[in-house]
Amino acid sequence: MSSDPNQTPATPHDNQDVVAHVDSPPTLLIVYVAILALFAATVLISSSGMFGKYTLFVQLGIGTIQASLVGCYFMHLRHGDRVVILTALASIFWMGILFVLFMSDYMTRHRVIG
């Protein structure tokens, strides 16, 4: 150990580490505009009935893209450590289970039992 009382201990996250993971404002603006454009596409698709019975699948796909953009850029998952990424993947896994259960219910609503 050094005898210098002014020396601070090294931290796992230095200032250069933090500054390197900050996205530039133009990048965040482009991502924001892309999310708004995907929102406009979702509204256009739902109001026009463009895809017929596959509209729900297309809208879920667009929503997935929007959620991944929000997670990667605004929640900084691109620069997260392994525990944060594992937590995000676990939540996506459980949402996948919920989507499968929802779609199985939705796709079998027209059937009459009995």
Q: How far apart are the first and last CA of the chain?
A: 79
For 12-55, how does the pLDDT look when each residue is reduced to its tens digit (9 = 90+)? 555 556 666 788 899 999 999 999 999 999 999 999 988 988 99
Nearest alpha carbon to residue 69 among 30, 13, 108: 30
Report the Cα 24 to chain-centroid distance in Å. 19
For 61-97, how does the pLDDT look when each residue is reduced to its tens digit (9 = 90+)? 999 999 999 999 998 888 888 898 899 889 989 989 9
Task: Return the C-alpha torsion angle 64, 70, 76, 81, nearest 10.
Answer: -20
Structural element, H or E, at residue 30: helix 25-48
pTM reported for the whole predicted model:
0.66
With contact defined as beta carbons under 8 Å apart, do 23 and 77 qualify? no
**At which residue do the structure tokens 């580490």 appear?**
17
- Report residue 88 as tokens: 């995000």
- Give me the residue spans of the domains in the chain: 24-79, 81-114
Rounded to whole angstroms, the Cα distance separating 84 from 102 reads: 27
